[in-house]
Structure 1
């Protein structure tokens, strides 16, 4: 077996991995990045991301106290306090660091959370909407900067095990072009994303029917680093939730319907019912909450969005890739009928049950008592629409999974936590390989790109502190 020596090894070359490695190289830590993709166009979620830099839909330049309040509201104070403080306190400086490395941002649209979007913005009018744009350009920019600083990216290098010595992580075993390789290092940083593209792990933690979930991601997040760390005794947290969007059911077989357009706004303005015509969740919590509720159904392909013309011509036209008119244009079936009962007939649903569900919902909306519904319907974030007036519309749904929110438990320095609530010396995790911020009971979404950048820089700075004290082992 060939053996190499570095001061730090980073697993994964998305935004978290490249930011970690670039920061380490700046601090004169000899670093190598392992990327299982085999060429410089390797797939990763960063490359195909929408590109909005935000925290809980607040701008990265907002005061920390404003961001903290947004995180508190979104998570209902269930996230790791150390990580919350790090994200709110560091994100402005972290974004400025990216800018200094040549990453460009642009304001896209009127929403606060799009004031810092990766430039040039994605172009949803082309098949490879991401190519030469947004996250793709960020990957190329950080890779070039890393090379200029003497850092290395090994393509076609898949990590398959951590090298442990007396409870300390001291390296990685790698398979590169069918050749085994052992890399020794004082620190290993796991940055290979979530486990969304691993059906076995998705079945274990998220849904019993992973084959009925649409993967709206790069397909590269298979949880390799997660599993290696778990074998070494690492703790995990929040594994049951994921970030994604509601898609038309036809997206399961029609690539034109994934990753866009999304049906979130139709669902959150109308209602989402199962095959028994019962509402499945609080539509007022938004698309990320609803997509998790859909995935948790006994049949994740058995839900339907019910709405009317006011929703179709209102919220249906929102977002950069609106459901109206793109769903029917790209091959989704949008059912319509003058009455709820006739709509039910087209959907093979019980007309009386659906009419009763819609009627009860309308009464609660019109009386301002949606909290009395079962399940309750909140109205603070997203307005509920009365469905009293037809014509009526429906779209069959599926859950689109982008990345898993849970992962390795880390502390405020991105150190991976072991079985005794103590850091595993020499082992770190950043980005979507780490948990503790998003997900939880309330399915809090805070921002994948921003959490990745902050945790990456935190990991790199802590590793560099050891280098300044070479006689002190990693703690």
Structure 2
């Protein structure tokens, strides 16, 4: 068995891992990054990301109090106070740190939360929309910084278990193409992302039928770090939520229909029904919540969105890569009929039930009483549009999962906590392998905060905490 000695071993070379490694390396700490991907162009979610840096849809340059308010509104106060305050207070400087490393940002679109989008922005079409753009360039920039400061990145090495001694982490075991590797380290940082691509963990925490979710990601989130931490006694939090969007069901077999177009805006304007033709969710809570609700159904492929010409030509054209016309041009199925009965027949729904559902919904919209619907229909975030102008449309849906929001519990400096909320010595975690800040809430709405931003902030905080206590050997 090969043996390697290092000050710090970082598991995963996405944005959290490389941020952590670069910050450690520039402070003179001997750092080794383990990346399961075999080539220098390894896939991960960061490489494919849309690239918007925001916190709860607030610009990263906004005042910390504004950001804190946005997080509180999203989470209903359920997120860890120390994590929330660290994120809100640090994100501005963390973004400036990225800029100092050579990472470039650009404003994309009219939304304020896109003022800091990774440059060059992603392409609006094609399977290689990310190549040479945003996240791809960011990873290459950070990796170059790591090696320039003396850090090392090992590709094709998969971490398999932590090495624990007297309750402290002293290294880890890994597997490479040439055999097992034993790594002795004075600290280990888990940064390998969520468990969004592991069917067993998804079935345990997210969906009864995870094979019916669309992997709207790099398919590299296997939950290795979460498993290792759990075996070492770490506390896990918020595992039942994920970040994702509603997609056309055709995306399950048509790669031209993911990660875009999203069906979120169409669904948020119209109604989403089950196979019985009845609404089963609050469409006004937005795409992330709707995707989670669909995924939790006994059959996650049983949802259909019903809408009309006004919605298709209004909200259907929202976003940079809009559902109208991208759904059809990408080969997706748009069911169309002159009346709801005919539409129901095409989609395979009971016509009488669907007509009754739409009639009840329209009456509530006309009377400003959508909160009386069952389930209720909020209008604070997205207005409810009536469904009455022919032609009528339907699209069969699926939930697209991008990353899981829950994971390893940590404090604000990335120290992994045990079941009694005490730090496990020498063990840290950052990025989407961790939980406690996204997903929860005392309301129905899923709290999406922003994966790129939290990964950067807590990668830096973990690195700084380690460097402040670790004298290089």
TM-score category of the 2 structures, normalised to the smaller one: over 0.9
Q: Is the 2:30–2:472 contact (alpha carbons within 8 Å) kept by the matching residues of 1?
A: no
3-state DSSP class of the match of 2:192? coil
1:367 deviates by 1.1
Q: Which residue does the alignment assign to 1:458? A: 461
Q: Which residue does the alignment assign to 1:95? A: 95
Q: Whole-Å Cα distance in 2 between the matches of residues 279 and 91 of structure 1?
A: 39
1:425 maps to 2:428: no
1:239-264 CA distance string (max 9 Å, x none): 11111111111111111111111111
3-state DSSP class of the match of 2:70? helix
Q: Is the 2:164–2:170 contact (alpha carbons within 8 Å) kept by the matching residues of 1?
A: yes
Q: Which residue does the alignment assign to 2:2? A: 2
Q: Whole-Å Cα distance in 1 between the matches of residues 189 and 421 of structure 2?
A: 19
1:352 deviates by 1.0
1:448 maps to 2:451: yes
1:124 deviates by 2.2
Q: Which residue does the alignment assign to 1:415? A: 415
Q: Is the 2:127–2:255 contact (alpha carbons within 8 Å) kept by the matching residues of 1?
A: no
Q: Is the 2:245–2:263 contact (alpha carbons within 8 Å) kept by the matching residues of 1?
A: yes
1:337-360 CA distance string (max 9 Å, x none): 122222111111111111111111
Q: Whole-Å Cα distance in 1 between the matches of residues 106 and 435 of structure 2?
A: 29
- For residues 273-352 of structure 1, what are the structure 2 equivalents within 5 Å? 273-352=273-352
Q: Whole-Å Cα distance in 1 between the matches of residues 423 and 366 of structure 2?
A: 53
Q: Whole-Å Cα distance in 1 between the matches of residues 104 and 280 of structure 2?
A: 41
Q: Is the 2:126–2:256 contact (alpha carbons within 8 Å) kept by the matching residues of 1?
A: no
1:42-63 CA distance string (max 9 Å, x none): 0100000000000011100000
Q: Whole-Å Cα distance in 2 between the matches of residues 226 and 235 of structure 1?
A: 10
Q: Which residue does the alignment assign to 1:120? A: 120
- Structure 1 residues 111 and 176: alpha-carbon distance in aligned structure 2, compared to 1, 3 A threshold: same
1:23-51 CA distance string (max 9 Å, x none): 00111111000001111000100000000
Q: Is the 2:244–2:402 contact (alpha carbons within 8 Å) kept by the matching residues of 1?
A: yes
Q: Whole-Å Cα distance in 1 between the matches of residues 391 and 125 of structure 2?
A: 30
1:77-123 CA distance string (max 9 Å, x none): 11111110011000000000000000000000110110000000000
Q: Whole-Å Cα distance in 2 between the matches of residues 16 and 421 of structure 1?
A: 23
1:390 deviates by 2.5
3-state DSSP class of the match of 2:175? strand
3-state DSSP class of the match of 1:6? strand
Q: Whole-Å Cα distance in 2 between the matches of residues 167 and 124 of structure 1?
A: 49
Q: Is the 2:241–2:406 contact (alpha carbons within 8 Å) kept by the matching residues of 1?
A: yes
Q: Is the 2:29–2:472 contact (alpha carbons within 8 Å) kept by the matching residues of 1?
A: no
Q: Whole-Å Cα distance in 2 between the matches of residues 205 and 339 of structure 1?
A: 40
3-state DSSP class of the match of 2:163? strand
Which of 308-317 and 412-421 deviates more? Answer: 412-421
1:67 maps to 2:67: yes
1:439 maps to 2:439: yes
Q: Which residue does the alignment assign to 1:267? A: 267
Q: CA RMSD in A?
A: 1.1
Q: Whole-Å Cα distance in 2 between the matches of residues 388 and 32 of structure 1?
A: 60
Q: Whole-Å Cα distance in 1 between the matches of residues 326 and 389 of structure 2?
A: 24
Q: Is the 2:7–2:472 contact (alpha carbons within 8 Å) kept by the matching residues of 1?
A: no
- For residues 253-264 of structure 1, what are the structure 2 equivalents within 5 Å? 253-264=253-264
3-state DSSP class of the match of 1:185? strand
1:16 maps to 2:16: yes
Q: Whole-Å Cα distance in 2 between the matches of residues 434 and 367 of structure 1?
A: 44
Q: Which residue does the alignment assign to 2:189? A: 189
Q: Whole-Å Cα distance in 2 between the matches of residues 211 and 329 of structure 1?
A: 26
Q: Whole-Å Cα distance in 2 between the matches of residues 444 and 40 of structure 1?
A: 34
1:389 deviates by 2.7
What residue ranges of structure 2 are gaps of 5+ in the alignment?
none
Q: Whole-Å Cα distance in 1 between the matches of residues 183 and 453 of structure 2?
A: 29
Q: Whole-Å Cα distance in 2 between the matches of residues 44 and 346 of structure 1?
A: 39
- For residues 21-36 of structure 1, what are the structure 2 equivalents within 5 Å? 21-36=21-36
Q: Whole-Å Cα distance in 1 between the matches of residues 237 and 267 of structure 2?
A: 29
Q: Whole-Å Cα distance in 2 between the matches of residues 469 and 20 of structure 1?
A: 16
- For residues 20-419 of structure 1, what are the structure 2 equivalents within 5 Å? 20-419=20-419
Q: Whole-Å Cα distance in 1 between the matches of residues 205 and 76 of structure 2?
A: 22
1:468 deviates by 4.9
3-state DSSP class of the match of 2:268? helix
3-state DSSP class of the match of 1:7? strand
- For residues 460-475 of structure 1, what are the structure 2 equivalents within 5 Å? 460-468=463-471
1:469 deviates by 10
Q: Whole-Å Cα distance in 1 between the matches of residues 195 and 68 of structure 2?
A: 28
